[in-house]
Structure 1
């Protein structure tokens, strides 16, 4: 699924769904676990790499557009959104895909653009209220 790009030396250069900010992401291994390293300015977030396949599978079952609903870890996620699923006890990892305590949120902001780049999903690019669906 991952191309030559997406390494620490050659990360994916991505834009948030509203196309307002750039960030980078790459695949790495930490403590024997495959992770995504997301760098936004000086902030570094980690997500469980399996989120890409799990989110694609969930979107296939959902069968329609789903609101992203990005939120910081300390804020509640809007029900029925990608963000809410990314921290739900009912997802395949039984909780957060975000791995850095205090920085586990924003799943709905940073993972969908990578899925779009990899051809796994389609994402809207409106100023607010963006959605995604499986390709």
Structure 2
């Protein structure tokens, strides 16, 4: 755990599950809604901040390891993965947690390390096919 507070001035500095890329995240309010700003090199993605609590609750309910299954918005997500749940009409927001059209995917790549950083989940760090599970 770091001393990052998740603000623009002191963002969470994270690595993708395979530990191959670094990126930063912080919480901000935009249009009256709390969001996570995720900066990967020059790409900036936005996720609904409630995804942290919602994903943790879903993982607790799942009770076991769950494949991450990261995919770009334009590609289908593998069923039963964190990525598929992050865009499913069955999740608590009724669809995408990603908020920028065209960049709404990769939920399974960038959100799991944040839950790990916050002490809410355990995430595997293999070259491929990583999984996560809730920490109670």
Quickly name the TM-score band, shorter chain normalised.
over 0.9
Distance in 1 between the 2:29 and 2:47 partners?
11
Q: Report deviation, 1:5.
A: 1.3
* Residue number in structure 1 paired with 2:130: 130
| Segments ≥4 residues shifted beyond 3 Å | none
Distance in 2 between the 1:19 and 1:4 partners?
19
* Residue number in structure 2 paired with 1:44: 44
Residue correspondence of structure 1 range 1-135 to structure 2 within 5 A: 5-135=5-135
SS in 1 for 2:35: strand
Range that drifts further, 4-13 or 95-104: 4-13
Query: How many residues in Structure 1 have an aligned counterpart in Structure 2?
Result: 133
Q: Report deviation, 1:20.
A: 0.3
Distance in 2 between the 1:130 and 1:112 partners?
10
Q: Report deviation, 1:53.
A: 0.3
**Is the contact between residue 13 and residue 24 of structure 2 (CA under 8 Å) also seen in structure 1?**
yes
Distance in 2 between the 1:9 and 1:29 partners?
14
Structure 2: gaps of 5 or more residues: none
TM-score of the pair, normalised by structure 1: 0.97
C-alpha RMSD of the superposition: 0.8
Structure 1: gaps of 5 or more residues: none
